[in-house]
A and B are shown apart, each in its own frame.
Chain A
Amino acid sequence: MRRNTLVLGATLLILAIFAWAGWANWEYRRQEAERILAGAGHGELVPAPGGGTPQYVSPLIGKPAPAFELKDLNGNKVSLANYRGKAVLINFWATWCGPCRVETPWIIELRNKYAAQGFEVLGVDTEGDDLKPDDKAGWAKATAAASKFVAQEKVPYPVLLDGDSISRAYGGLDDLPTSFFVDRKGVVVTAQVALTSESDIESKILKALNQ
């Protein structure tokens, strides 16, 4: 009798654990669905086939790159439309972003390697991400920091300011560095978030150049 009670008790306990596991799984899925809905428009990292560097899947891939016109470090207006006919790497970065500083020399090298084939880089600085529009001192400091880095690295391509103003169109840019590779027709062919490798960036440039 006592043994029967024990077995019955254990069974009920296990059934209770099962019910709890079911509820926990449902709750997890509900939160995940909410998070995905909240992040609609954001890109995602998905594992690469066969391992390797995770691929950034942006909803912009296959679509025209959102148009923009921003000022460069010299105050000149630069429009993406001006680069139609060229493959373009739009590289969002900031001086406070260590991985961005690591990949910049790679991008410079690749830009110089493929420039003759119709490739250009637009560096978009998001330095002032937490700055208010009227914070003149803050913006001046941010611009000075970007200018210093550009001079130090001898960046040969246009570096544009106020990247935050176009970040929404490019999916929110929650992490840096983030790059979009645009083909000669102005269509985003691939994208990358986070530091990967020079060879990975080069393969994406070749894709934008259709080679």
Chain B
Amino acid sequence: MILELAAADVAPGRADVLAQIGIPEGAVVSAHIERLYAAASELFAEHVAPAGLLADIDVAEFAEVYRGEGRNEPRSPVGEILGRAEHLALFVVTLGEGISQALQRCFAAEDFALAYTLDAMASVAADGAADLAERRFDGMLRGRGWTTPDGAVLRYSPGYCGWDVTGQRKLFASLRPERIGLALTESCLMQPLKSVSGVLIAGPRTIHRFPPTYDFCDRCNARTCRDRLGALFAHEHA
């Protein structure tokens, strides 16, 4: 199904964008940066064209998609969570090509600060769009009577956490995101770049809890998995 996404749905929050550009909450923001933020917001509103797809998939079918070209890590969170998943959906969201082109124009004009701010805004928005896909799938499942106590939906993407990026090929073959203007490069990256794809896994919240002790974790500096898990289990520390 097509995920209906409006520009307002993906407009990022100011604090999140400032955090993305390295400005902590409560810091004094200079007039320069205020102007940049306003200019980037205008460009963002002008060029964002969000779109998305979501498709239910059963465990057996997804196992085939996940197998990809056989390049995944031997042990990975998705591989281990899959057996305990209750519902799955493939998804993709994109902010559209207009944002990428606006970014290129800013860099070409040596408007580095504006390009950087717009890039940060778009990155936060793309993640926000993926969050929205999670919430929509959660809502759909509950509408269909999904009643697992403390159930939660979390996304996993090719290129991260042991799922080789070449997995994008089978994901694309199944989901056919060309319908919303997405293409896959030879190296399996999506164009437009500000896009997120993957699988949404629904099940008891605890299936998503995994320690960062896989072989590939030692070689990874990204904290996105920890951040997402932190958000998922935030209520435990509230």
Pairing of A with B: no
